Structure 1
Amino acid sequence: MKERFLFNDTPPSEELINRYKRYTAGESAGGYFDVEEVEMLADHFLHQNTEDALRVIDMGLQQHPNHQDLMLGRIKILADRGNLNEAMHLLNLLINQECYEVQLVKIELLTKFNRIEEAKKIAFNILAQPQEEPELTYLDISDIFRDCEQFETSLFILEHREKTNALSVDMLFEKAYCLEQIGNYQDAILTYQAIIAVDSYIGEAWFNLGQVYYTLQEYKDALHAYTMCVTIKEDDTIAWIQKGHTHFFLKEIDNAYTCYMRCIKTYKDKWELYIFIAECFALKQDYENAILYYKESIRQNLDNHRAHIGLATCEIEMGNYPTATKLLNEAIKICPDAYEAWFYLGEIESRQQNIEQAITFYQKAHTLNDADVIVAMTLGNTYANKRDYEQAIPYYHKASEHADVLQRTEALMFLATCYFYINNHDMALYYIEKAMKEDAGSLSLFYALCPEGMEKLSETIEKTNNKTTN
């Protein structure tokens, strides 16, 4: 996202800043600042304190009364501070209401008032007129609607331009961003690929493309994109981190470790990087090294619940349940909503056959995050193992809502099993058929879970299987 400026991105000189500071401190008897100097000073102070930027503009208006650009700067600051009525009042006092900059500010103010249709009307009227710099006009207006999260409108404006003119790289980036925000990832991918087709050395396009693939869990494509990104810019730490994450999810643990270690000198939050490295060792069941890195992470950031939880999982795997319990309770003290900590407390109780206490912890974890598939499946399995199938069903349902294809077919077959055991064979068949539509090979799981079901429902299941495969 572009950095916001009231006027332009030209920085003031140190001499100008010092001259202004001497003037405001009363160290110089007089001081005159031309409009351009006022604008540079206002933008300089805007990124530190809006009150200071407002003082600069007010000083400028004393020296240049009613100057429209300075008035617009004042209006923008008031709007950003939430003084919308005052901002709109001042805007309506401006003489040249048809000025392009005035109309842009009016569109922005209307969006802040949530008067979106009025804002659109002005925007579309501007776009219907001949423009000296049409690309900048489309970008300016698209940006306003994007910033107020009216992504569909922003996208409509960009695509309207695209009907008659190929979009520039800047406009393609805007389009891709909006597509991502509305969840249209496939078109976002095509748009980033269009940018790369224009210039294959734009690292940002490769990185963003990688992020979309990563979101979609298409890790091999994500890995290619991140690899291209770090090839273009070898010192792109964030790209190396994302490349490491992608290797991790592909179970290429040594490669993930190499990526993380490459960032050891440049990554700002070392404590977080140590967690990533520890997770590599933990996945390789090298718990001693994992523990070293988790402890170093905690040493660098004591209020670090993630490292406490990671360290606890290592202690669990090593059978050190009291130590793990203490660490998890410390994590909960730091972050009471850390559902993973509650889940692993449940795991400790489950391993010690304290099933009712385990369920209590699992339910707490599920309450904090009902979208976590592992937590929901674990609760379902725990109830199913107790033959409490009716209690298991809602958790398998919840898991199937949030799972990927592999996990979803598993959850659906568990549902089929539960329904079979409560003698609701119609529902059992319904979920078997639903699972087989996604993965015809999933039937073997049902037979493994429910051999009685194979015996009683085999004829009907065979018909379903034939219907699915034909």
Structure 2
Amino acid sequence: MGLEPNENKDHYITKFESMLKTDDVYFFDAEDFEGIIHYYLNIGKVALGKKAIKIGLQQHPNAIELKLLQVEVLVFEDQFEAAERLLNKLETLDPNNEEIFIQRANILSKKDDHQGAVNMLYQALQVADDCLDIYSLLGMEYLFMDDFEKAKLNFTKCLLHDETDYSALYNVIYCYEFLEDFDGAIVFLNDYLERNPYCEVAWHQLGKMYLNKELLKEALTAFDFAIISEDTFLGAYFEKGRVLEKLGNYNEAIESYQTTLTLDDPTSHAYLRIGKCHEKLGNDDLAKYYYYHTVHEDPLLDKGWLAITEFYTKKKKYQKAKKYINKAINIDSENALYWKKSAIIYLALNDLNEADFAFKQAVELGNYELDTWLEWAWVLQALKDLDSAEKVLQQGMEFYPESPEIHYHLSGLYLKTQRPSLAKENLLTALQLNPQKAVFFKEKFPEFTHVKWISEMVSKNRKASN
């Protein structure tokens, strides 16, 4: 039994702490000790909780609930053998106490025996008067086992016992999301809202489900109802802003994001979204202002540095863009997108060696987009490393075997390295895949476009495709 946050609680806590500071000994009822112990455990002061247990058992040596709290602390500290010994003694005294089964389940769970924990919790259900906490624990154990259907079922049972259990509500929706059953989540939430029409949490979650299905108008309505239900609901204003952005209503989106800044301390994410909206409206000075506020508020938000990078890249101010993409990379050096952005910027600056290095990093981190292979190959070609350019294109062909651009490029490389048979083979393949893209070959290898067999092959395939 936890103490309620009232004067009575304060009185007992003050009295207990006064006793610890003096040689006086005060007497408390066993239930008072339970409340004191719960108080300290709930706020993370385990040492004081243990002191309260020790003194409580000195005054009430037969109090089973205090001994169960002692078990709880032993389990928390991974002292499983001591906890099991105490539980065995308690079970002989009170074999139908559901807390004994719950603590045994807790031990099994911490040992990663989640099925054993589930079995123990079902035993607890057989003897429990109040099953709410047990259903919640069952739901968590099924989550550990990735059994989202059974987890959802148990969290739903929690809601049947207490519809204001928002923790259970979030967990039910988490299960629907993981199962990608957005339609099921929408049906569930609408049914829940029929009974709880002013539940801002449910409206907020419903909006997110509609957003997952790109049902933007429905999402907007749901977030509006969340705000009507609780007009200081920061999350609902933020999500509403996202929907308005997607709908192209940038001024309204800015207004919604601005509201979040008045409800709580400003967040970097809100500044970032406001900056994006201003950029889309063509308000470049305001966009820049909010982007810089983003990284000032949170210097470790790499997306903020990326936004500034992209802002300057669009303006073709590549030196500034280079400075800011490096800041993003310093925060997240494992992000393939950032390395690719870096490569493109260095390429624009004609710093080919740095571009080569950045493309290499991007690919090693998993960026296999077609233009990555093509651009990297052009960089290597410009560095006169034709052998590496060829290897890059062949590697790219493993991902895009029917890319005419790769075959056109390989054809040009084979011509440069005086391997005409391979050049013909690849040029023919490229023309068969897409003869209209022969302009790609002409732009990249103008020195070969007047070679007789090449012009004849291109002409013949173009006619055949018309």
Both structures adopt the same fold (TM-score exceeding 0.5)? yes
Partner of 2:394: 390
Specify the alignment match of 2:36 in structure 1: 41
Q: What does 1:238-253 align with in structure 2 at a 5 Å threshold?
A: 238-253=235-250
Structure 2 Cα separation of the partners of residues 447 and 248 of structure 1: 40
Seq. identity, %: 19
Say yes or no: does 1:212 pair with 2:212: no
Match of 2:2 among 3, 8, 16: 8
Partner of 1:438 in structure 2?
none
Matched residue, 1:77: 73
Amino acid at match of 2:99: E
Tell whether 2:79 aligns with 1:55: no
Distance (Å, rounded) in 2 between the aligned partners of 1:355 and 1:376: 20
Does the 8 Å CA contact 1:138/1:161 hold for their aligned counterparts? Answer: no
Alignment of 1:163-202 (within 5 A): 169=163, 170=165, 174-202=171-199
Shift, 1:292, TM fit: 1.4
Alpha-carbon contact 2:397-2:403 (below 8 Å) kept = no
| Distance in 2 between residues matched to 1:454 and 1:42, nearest whole Å | 85
* CA 50–279 in structure 1, closer or farther in 2 if over 3 Å, else same: farther
1:274 paired residue number: 271
Based on CA coordinates, which of the two structures has the bigger radius of gyration?
2
> What is the CA RMSD across the aligned residues, in angstroms?
4.0
Deviations 1:327-367 (A, max 9, x none): 22233334434554423212212334556743532442454
Q: What's the counterpart of residue 410 of structure 1?
A: none
Task: Name the counterpart of 1:139.
Answer: 135
Preserved CA contact (<8 Å) 2:155 2:171: no
CA spacing shift, 1:144–1:216, aligned 2, 3 Å:
same
Provide structure 2 residue ranges, at least 5 long, that are not aligned to the other structure: 382-389, 411-424, 440-457
Residues 371-390 of structure 1: pairs in structure 2 closer than 5 A: 376=369, 378-380=371-373, 382=375, 389-390=393-394
Taking the aligned partners of 1:109 and 1:284, their CA distance within structure 2 comes to 57
Aligned partners of 1:97 and 1:103 also within 8 Å = no
Going from structure 1 to structure 2, the CA distance change for 1:182 and 1:419 (only over 3 Å counts) comes to same
Given that 1:213 and 1:219 are in contact with CA atoms closer than 8 Å, whether structure 2 keeps it comes out as yes
Spell out, residue by residue over 1:230-268, the C-alpha distance to the aligned partner (whole angstroms, 9 max, x if none): 122111011111221232334432222111111122233
The farther-off stretch of 316-325 and 296-305 is: 296-305
Cα deviation digits, residues 125-169 of structure 1 (max 9, x gap): 455x486456x376344345257465437437539969xx97863
| Cα 1:161/1:304, change in 2 over 3 Å | closer
- Secondary structure (helix, strand or coil) at the match of 2:2 reads coil
Structure 2 Cα separation of the partners of residues 104 and 245 of structure 1: 43
Which residue of the other structure, out of 261, 265, 279, is the alignment partner of 1:264? 261
Q: Secondary structure at the match of 1:29?
A: coil
State how far apart, in whole Å, the 2-side matches of 1:418 and 1:18 are: 78
Q: Which residue of 2 aligns with 1:120?
A: 118
Equivalence for 2:446: none
Does the alignment pair 1:237 with 2:234? yes
- Cα shift at 1:228: 2.0
Change (3 A) 1:88 1:181: farther
Answer yes or no: is the 8 Å Cα contact 1:155–1:179 preserved in 2: no
Cα distance in 1 for residues equivalent to 2:160 and 2:300: 50
Cα distance in 1 between the residues matched to 2:184 and 2:426? 43
Q: Partners of 1:42 and 1:72 in 2: how far apart?
A: 11
TM-score (norm 1): 0.72
- The separation in 2 between residues aligned to 1:31 and 1:161, in whole angstroms, is 43
Alpha-carbon distance between aligned partners in 2 of 1:145 and 1:355, rounded to the nearest angstrom: 54
1:67–1:185 Cα change, 3 Å: farther
* Shift in CA distance, 380/255, structure 1 to aligned 2, threshold 3 Å: farther
Could you tell me which amino acid in structure 1 is paired with residue 56 of structure 2? Answer: G
CA distance in 1: counterparts of 2:357 and 2:306, whole angstroms: 18
CA separation in 1, counterparts of 2:266 and 2:80? Answer: 38
Deviations 1:8-40 (A, max 9, x none): 3623632222212211122x6112222222222
State the partner residue of 2:348.
351
How far apart are the structure 2 equivalents of 1:314 and 1:159?
A: 45
Would you say the 8 A contact 1:173–1:192 is kept in 2?
no
Q: 5+ unaligned residues in a row in structure 1: which ranges?
A: 1-6, 397-413, 433-445, 460-470
Please tell me the residue identity of whatever aligns with 2:115: E
Summarize deviations over 1:285-320 as a string: whole Å, max 9, x none: 433222212222333344443333322222222222
Q: Answer yes or no: is the 8 Å Cα contact 1:383–1:392 preserved in 2.
A: no
AA at the equivalent of 2:395:
Q
The letter of the residue matching 1:224 is T
| Residues 82 and 208 of structure 1, relative CA distance in 2, 3 Å threshold | farther
Instruction: State the match for 2:225 in structure 1.
Output: 228
Q: Does 1:17 align with 2:21?
A: no
When structure 1 is superposed on structure 2, of 92-101 and 375-384 the one drifting more is 375-384
**Partner of residue 306, structure 1:** 303
Q: Does 1:111 align with 2:109?
A: yes
* 1:337/1:321 CA distance change after superposition, 3 Å: same
Q: Using the alignment, how far apart are the partners of 1:141 and 1:333 within structure 2?
A: 41
Q: CA deviation at 1:204?
A: 0.7
Match in the other structure for 1:98 = 96
Give the whole-Å Cα distance in 2 for the aligned partners of 1:358 and 1:161.
57
Structure 2 counterpart SS, 1:299: helix
Return closer, same or farther for 1:204/1:64 CA change in 2, 3 Å cut-off.
same
- SS of 2:369's equivalent in the other structure is helix
The corresponding residue for 1:31 is 26
Structure 2: distance between partners of 1:211 and 1:324: 34
Q: Secondary structure at the match of 1:139?
A: helix
8 Å CA contact 1:207, 1:226 repeated in 2: yes
Residue 263 of structure 1 aligns to a residue whose secondary structure is helix
After TM superposition, the structure 1 stretch with the greater mean CA deviation from structure 2, 315-324 or 181-190, is 181-190
In structure 2, distance between residues paired with 1:57 and 1:233: 41
Which stretch shifts more, 304-313 or 193-202? 304-313
My pick for the range that moved more, 304-313 or 107-116, is 304-313
Gap change, CA 1:448 and 1:43, over 3 Å in 2: farther
Q: Tell me if structure 2 keeps the 8 A contact 1:359–1:382.
A: no
Q: 1:364 and 1:349 mapped to 2: Cα distance? A: 13
Distance 1:322 1:204, change over 3 A: same
* TM-score, length-scaled by structure 2: 0.73
